[in-house]
Structure 1
Amino acid sequence: MPSRFPKLFTYVVVIPLVFALFMYAWFNKASDGFFVVMGLAFLVGIPLGVGVLTIYLSPREKVKSLTYRVMMPWVPLLFFFLITLLFAWEGWACWLMAAPLFMVASSIGGLSAAHYKLKDKNKQERRYVSLIVLLPLVISPIEQMIAKIPGQYKAYTYIDIHASKENIWKNVTRVGEIAATQDKGWLTRTLGFPRPIRAELNYEGVGAFRKAIFDKGLVFDEKVTAYSHQRSMSFTIHADPYNIPSTTMDEHVVIGGQYFDVLNGTYELEPLSDGTCRLHLYSHFRLNTTFNFYASWWASWIMKDIQNNILQVIRQRAESGLPENRI
C-alpha cells in the first residue's frame, strides 16, 4: 500500500492541481477580455473540472465512498489556494470569499464523475470528463459577450444609544481617532480589509466635504448632499482605486474598482419613546459582475460589518460623554 501512495497522489491530486493552475494562468493572463478570473466560467467551471478529474483518476473502490466523492476534490483545491497565496498571485480575502463556491462546485463535479465511473462505461466517462474540462474555455467567451449586469444594493444597520441627541450627533459628523482595540469589525479584520481610523468634516451643512480615513492608505472622499441638524446627513462616497496602494486590497475586491464601488451613505437619528435614540446608517453600493447573486451576499456582509463597527464606536463615545476627538 505505501508503494502505491506516490502514484495515487500524482494521479488524484497533482493532475487536477496542474489543471487548475494552467486554467488560472490562462484566465488571468488573457488580454482579449474573453477569459477573466471574475466570472462564473472560472469560479464554477474550474473547480467543477477539478472535482471531475479527481474522481475520474481515483481508484474505483475509493469512489464507492460518498465521503470520498464529496471531500477528496477539496484536496487539490487546497494546494491550489496555498500555491497562489504563497506566490502572492491572489489575496487571502479573494480566496476566502470564493472558497464556498469552489468547494460546492468541486463536490458536484466529483459526484457527477462518480455516477459515470461506477457505471463502468469507460468510453462515456472519458467523453464526459473531456467535455467538463474544456467547458470553461467554451463558456467564458459567451459569458463575457453577454456582458456584466450592474446592480445597486443597500446595506442597512442601526444601533440604540442611551445619550442625548447633541452628544450622539457630534460623534456622527466627526469621528475622532479610533484605537485598534476599538475595532470590532471581525469580518473585515478576518478578510484583511483596512480598519477605520477617523472621519473629518470641514463644516456642517450641504456641500461640506468629509473624509473617512482608514488604515493602509484607504481614504473615502465624501460630499454632503443633504443635511438636517441632529436629524440626518447624506453624502456621496468616492474612493479613487489608483490612489490606493496595491498592497491594501486585492485587485478583484478593491473599492472603486471595476467590480465593486460604494456610492453613498446616510445617517438618520430617531428619538425613541423611552428617551433613547436610534441611529440608522445605510449605504448603497454597486456591483458589476456576472455573478452578482453571490457577490452581493459578501459585499452586503462586509458593508454591514464596517457600518456596525462605526456605530458601536459612536455609541461608546456618546454614552460615555467623551468628545468626538477622544478615544
Structure 2
Amino acid sequence: MPYSFWWPLLCGAATGLLLRLVFSGDSGQAYTPMLAAFVYLAPLVVGMVTVYVAERSHRRSWGYYAGSAAFANVLFVVGSLAILVEGLICAILILPLFTAIGAVGGLLMGLVCRFTNWPRGTLGCFAALPLLLGALGGDPGPRVHSVENVRRQVLVQAPASEVWQHLLDADRIAPGEVETAWMYRIGVPMPLAGVTEETADGLVRDVRMGKGIHFTQVASDWEPGRRVHWRYRFGPGSVPPGALDDHVRIGGDYFDLVGTTYRLTPRGQATVLEIEMQYRVSTDFDWYAEPLARWLIGDFSEVILDFYRVRSEAVAGTGPA
C-alpha cells in the first residue's frame, strides 16, 4: 500500500482529536479532559498509532519512532485549536508534556513492532485504556491542595508615599508597560486599570482587564505606605465566556489566586517594594502544572514590580518620564 510521509502523522493526530471529543465532560463528570486518563494516555496512544501505521509500510528507525510520535502530538494540539475544543493558553502549556509522552508512546510501539507478533492487539489495549479509565474515574471537582507562594522585590528610586499611591491607583495601563510578561504573551488578557476606593468595608480595588474581565480586590490587612494584602473577589460575570480557558480560570477547580501582598520598606529616599503572591494549583498532574504556574506567576511578579517602579520613578523625577 502506498503510504505518504504525512499519512501516519495524520492518523495519529486524528486519533487524538477523537479522544479529545470523547473527553469533553465538565468538571466533576466522567470524561473531563483534565483527568489523568486523558492527559497521560491520549498522547501516548497518538504516538503509538503513528508508529503502528508507519510500520505497516516498512521498518523505521528509533529516531523516527520518537520524532514522528512527538510531531503527531503537535498536530493533535494544533487540530484541537482549529476545531475550537481547546483554548490557546491550555494548548501552549500542555504541548511540551504531550510531545514527551508521545515520543515514549512511539518508542514503545516501535519496540512492540520489532520484537513481538501482536502490535495490533497491543495498540487496541492501549487505545481502550483511556476510554475505560475515563468512564470509571470521574473528576471529583475541587481538590484540597496546598497554597504556594512566590516572592519578588525591586528597589524603587522614589519615596514610599509615592509608590503607595501607584499601588492603589494604576489607571490607563498601556500594553507596552506589561506585555513582556509571559502570561500575557500566551493569551491572558492584559490589565487595563486597577483603581482603589475606600469604603465602609475598607479598601476595595476595581480591576479591569481585556475581553471584559473585571473583579475586585479587597484589602484584608493594610497600613498606609507600608503594606497591603489583597484578596480576590470574583462575581458570576467577572470572567465572560471565552475570555479565559476554563481549565486555567482564576477561582476555578484547577487554579486560583488566593491573595497578593505588597510590602514597602523605606531605604533613605528609595523604597524596597516586595510582592508575595499566593496561588493554588489542583490537578491530577501537579508535578507538571505547579512549576509552570510558579514560573508564570514569578515572571508576572517581576513585570508588575517593574511597572510600579517605572511609574513611581517617573513622577518622583528619578526615572524616565
TM-score clears 0.5: yes
SS at match of 1:4: coil
Residue deviations 1:9-60 (CA, integer Å, cap 9, x gap): 43x1233223212211111158981211012211110000011111122237
2:209 is aligned to 214
Q: Which amino acid aligns with 1:245?
A: P
Residue deviations 1:215-234 (CA, integer Å, cap 9, x gap): 22112211111111211111
Q: Which amino acid aligns with 2:46?
A: V
Q: Which amino acid aligns with 2:65?
A: R
Q: Which amino acid aligns with 1:35?
A: Y
Shift of 1:268: 0.5
What is the alpha-carbon distance in structure 1 between the residues aligned to residue 199 and residue 306 of structure 2? 22
Among candidates 257, 273, 276, match of residue 270 of structure 2? 276
- After the TM superposition, which residues 18-37 of structure 1 pair with which residues of structure 2 at under 5 Å, given as runs? 18-29=14-25, 33-37=29-33
Q: Which amino acid aligns with 2:91?
A: W
Counterparts in 2 of 1:297 and 1:242: CA distance versus 1, 3 Å: farther
What is the alpha-carbon distance in structure 2 between the residues aligned to residue 314 and residue 206 of structure 1? 26
- After the TM superposition, which residues 169-248 of structure 1 pair with which residues of structure 2 at under 5 Å, given as runs? 169-203=164-198, 207-240=202-235, 242-248=237-243
2:258–2:278 Cα contact (<8 Å) kept = yes
Counterparts in 2 of 1:131 and 1:26: CA distance versus 1, 3 Å: same
2:55–2:113 Cα contact (<8 Å) kept = no
Residue deviations 1:260-282 (CA, integer Å, cap 9, x gap): 2212111011234x753221111
Is 1:110 the counterpart of 2:106 in the alignment? yes
1:256–1:262 Cα contact (<8 Å) kept = yes
Q: Which amino acid aligns with 2:53?
A: L
Among candidates 2, 5, 9, match of residue 4 of structure 1? 2
Residue deviations 1:150-177 (CA, integer Å, cap 9, x gap): 3222122221112111221111122122
Shift of 1:317: 1.3
Counterparts in 2 of 1:31 and 1:98: CA distance versus 1, 3 Å: closer
1:308 is aligned to 302
Is 1:135 the counterpart of 2:129 in the alignment? yes
1:148–1:290 Cα contact (<8 Å) kept = no
* CA-based RMSD: 2.7
Shift of 1:116: 1.7
Is 1:126 the counterpart of 2:120 in the alignment? yes
Q: Which amino acid aligns with 2:97?
A: L
1:50 is aligned to 46
What is the alpha-carbon distance in structure 1 between the residues aligned to residue 110 and residue 84 of structure 2? 34
SS at match of 1:200: strand
Q: Which amino acid aligns with 2:102?
A: S
TM-score, length-scaled by structure 2? 0.88
What is the alpha-carbon distance in structure 1 between the residues aligned to residue 298 and residue 27 of structure 2? 35
1:63–1:114 Cα contact (<8 Å) kept = no
Among candidates 149, 152, 165, match of residue 154 of structure 1? 149
1:159–1:311 Cα contact (<8 Å) kept = yes
What is the alpha-carbon distance in structure 2 between the residues aligned to residue 224 and residue 75 of structure 1? 48
Counterparts in 2 of 1:159 and 1:184: CA distance versus 1, 3 Å: farther
Structure 1 alignment gaps of length 5 or more: none
What is the alpha-carbon distance in structure 1 between the residues aligned to residue 195 and residue 243 of structure 2? 21
Worse-superposed segment, 132-141 or 307-316: 132-141
TM-score, length-scaled by structure 1? 0.87
Among candidates 82, 91, 94, match of residue 86 of structure 1? 82
Residue deviations 1:40-90 (CA, integer Å, cap 9, x gap): 211110000011111122237975523211110133323322322223221
What is the alpha-carbon distance in structure 2 between the residues aligned to residue 65 and residue 202 of structure 1? 65
1:174–1:200 Cα contact (<8 Å) kept = yes
What is the alpha-carbon distance in structure 2 between the residues aligned to residue 9 and residue 89 of structure 1? 23
2:74–2:95 Cα contact (<8 Å) kept = no
SS at match of 1:37: coil
Say how many residue pairs are matched. 317
What is the alpha-carbon distance in structure 1 between the residues aligned to residue 124 and residue 253 of structure 2? 33
1:155–1:284 Cα contact (<8 Å) kept = yes
Shift of 1:240: 3.2
Shift of 1:210: 1.1
